[in-house]
Amino acid sequence: YSNAVYDGDPVLTFNDAFNEMKADALKDGISIWISSGFRSYKTQKNLFERYCKNDVVSNVEMYSARPGHSEHQTGLAIDVNSASSSAYETTYKKVGEWLEKNCHRYGFIIRYPKGKENITGYIYEPWHIRYVGKDYAKKIKESGLCLEEYLGIDSKYAY
């Protein structure tokens, strides 16, 4: 992990931040949970290969990371309630709206925001949040930038 991106201990702070966010969301009538957290290389490899059996690789790469490139492998990214666009358009719409409005207050960012697909390389995922710490989450949210823009990095795979 880059010390330039995270304030505090990412593991301990992540858990505390998520639990605080979960409790506050519930006060607003929103129930959130982690539907997918840390993934090993093997798990990500199996997931990516399963998607590739039903879709072309170039499409899969817009909604699933190659093994070794998934933020889930860092332990700092989670999917909240579901990992499905259709579920967020219906069942979890209010969850996605709540996360968009509030997750930065707890140190998380919507990692693949709407309108930034050509920069992040991934489809809009209102359910996928990444812990960056409260200070950075606030700065990133206020900037209107996605993480790549904020850090001045490229999302392309390096071969």
SS (H, E, C) 120-150: HCCCCEEEEEEECCHHHHHHHHHHCCCHHHH
* Burial label, 102 (beta-carbon count in 10 A; 0-12, 13-18, 19+): middle
- Hey, what's the torsion of the CAs at 72, 126, 139, 131, to 10 degrees? -20
- CB 76 within 8 Å of CB 131: yes
- CB 109 within 8 Å of CB 141: yes
Share of the chain residues as helix, strand and coil, in percent rounded to the nearest 5: 50, 10, 40
Residues annotated as catalytic are 125
